Amino acid sequence: MSIKGQRVELRLDAPGERLDKALAQALPELSRMQWQRLIKEEQVLVNGRCFKPSQRLEDTADVVAHVPAAVESDLTPEAIPLDVRYEDGQIIVVNKPAGMVVHPGTGHESGTLVHALLAHCSDLAGIGNTKRPGIVHRLDKETSGLLVIAKNDHAQLYLQQQFKARTVGKQYLALATGHVQPPAALIDAPIGRNPMQRQKMSVIAPGTPRAASAQARPAQTHYQTLKQYSGPYGDYTLVECALHTGRTHQIRVHLAYIGYPVAGDRFYGRRKQKLPFEQIGAAPRHFLHAAALTLRRPSDGAEMTFRAELPPELQALLALLQ
């Protein structure tokens, strides 16, 4: 049961600990920062008195906290069909189709995954003080595949810690342009925003003048060849990519960097390249799919692996290339 909108009474037995930290450990549905805000707003009483967030507990303390209810989101829920692969009271895992944007933004005021989740999830406890899903990672508009979303603050923090610690397993299937050599390798090349084209990311060599302005961050992608294709539409390689980091456009940037861009990617790849999507009656897209996701479930810490098969249009495209 969520503590939001509740009067919470508890006994803290954490002598010497900061009040905000002790509360976050005892009631992890709210982050330490959220507890700090409530303490400063005098919504938390310790033995009948107001404390500062940094004040340390001297002994066992009786705490009463008034936790405000989450307010409704200003976004309009939209009943968009979702391919749900797993759901419990803490998280939901969906298989996002290509063409769907994850989060609302300029030019995408409706039809996003967030709009769909607001309609689908009746048990959103909310993130922060708003009833909305907690987006902890994203996929590009044209990229299909698995995403995990948090339903409350505790789940979001638990997932964010896993992503930060790089313990989340992420496997993608990508069709690279050309016959990739070597067949398997680790691409270890830092990625930052391209100083000349701010909409793009790029590999930034350490120590170069571009590196400081681009704020490059370490990025590692391991790829392994699954199958090669040759024919009238060109040469391609189906590769499985495992991400050790989670940089923006990482696979697309890394494969382009080694000379084998993702097929159909007109942003980082070859603009004149045209995959034969029209022959299978499908809309053009780049060939990148988040096929597997491994994480620990917030409710009990159990490790779970989710898988999503290639969508029909990508399966049909491979059959045509073969």
Q: Answer with the residue of higher pLDDT: 198 or 190.
A: 190
pLDDT, residue 219, reads: 95
Q: Are residues 221 and 297 in the same domain?
A: yes
* 1 within some domain: no
Q: Which of 47-56, 65-74, 150-159 has the lowest mean pLDDT?
A: 65-74
Q: Are residues 186 and 246 in the same domain?
A: yes
Q: Are residues 191 and 251 in the same domain?
A: yes
Q: How far apart are CA 126 and CA 111, in angstroms?
A: 20
Q: Are residues 153 and 176 in the same domain?
A: no
> Among 66, 85, 112, which residue terminates a domain?
66
Contacting residues for 90 by C-beta, under 8 A, at least 6 apart: 150, 151, 152, 154, 155, 158, 297, 298, 299
Q: How far apart are CA 229 and CA 320, in angstroms?
A: 10
What average pLDDT does range 24-44 have in this prediction? 87
Residue 140 bears catalytic tag: yes
- Label residue 75 by pLDDT band (50, 70, 90): confident
Q: Are residues 27 and 131 in the same domain?
A: no
Domain assignment of residue 23, given as a range? 7-66
The number of folded domains in the chain is 3
* 2 within some domain: no
What average pLDDT does range 242-253 have in this prediction? 95
Q: Are residues 55 and 199 in the same domain?
A: no
pLDDT, residue 223, reads: 98
pTM of the model: 0.81
Catalytic residue from among 59, 62, 83, 140: 140
Q: Are residues 289 and 302 in the same domain?
A: yes
Q: Are residues 181 and 141 in the same domain?
A: no
Q: Are residues 58 and 111 in the same domain?
A: no
Mean pLDDT, the chain, integer? 90
- Name residue, tokens 């307010």: 71
Q: Are residues 177 and 247 in the same domain?
A: yes
